[in-house]
Amino acid sequence: MVFMLPVAGFRSVIAGAMDEMKILIGDTASQIMATIDHHVQSFFVQALQLDGRTLRLEAK
């Protein structure tokens, strides 16, 4: 059996870990979280073909 975390659950786990790391790495933790958010969003845009060109083609 494979346990799958929803995206929001995964993000909250990572964000919690990063909050604990702020003591050690300071504001870099916020930059790391922003980078993770950007990469996850890019993945979903590509995987679900949510880019503007594809959406316009689908609407026709």
- Parent domain of 13: 8-59
Kindly state whether residue 1 falls inside one of the protein's structural domains: no
Kindly state whether residue 43 falls inside one of the protein's structural domains: yes
pLDDT digits (tens, 9 = 90+) for 9-58: 778 888 888 888 888 898 898 898 889 888 888 887 777 776 777 777 77
- When divided into structural domains, the chain yields a total of 1
| Contact between residue 25 and residue 19 where contact means Cβ atoms under 8 Å apart | no
Kindly state whether residue 2 falls inside one of the protein's structural domains: no
Q: Is the dihedral of CA 8, 10, 13, 17 positive or negative?
A: negative
Confidence at 7, pLDDT banded by 50, 70, 90:
low
Structure tokens at 59: 């609407």
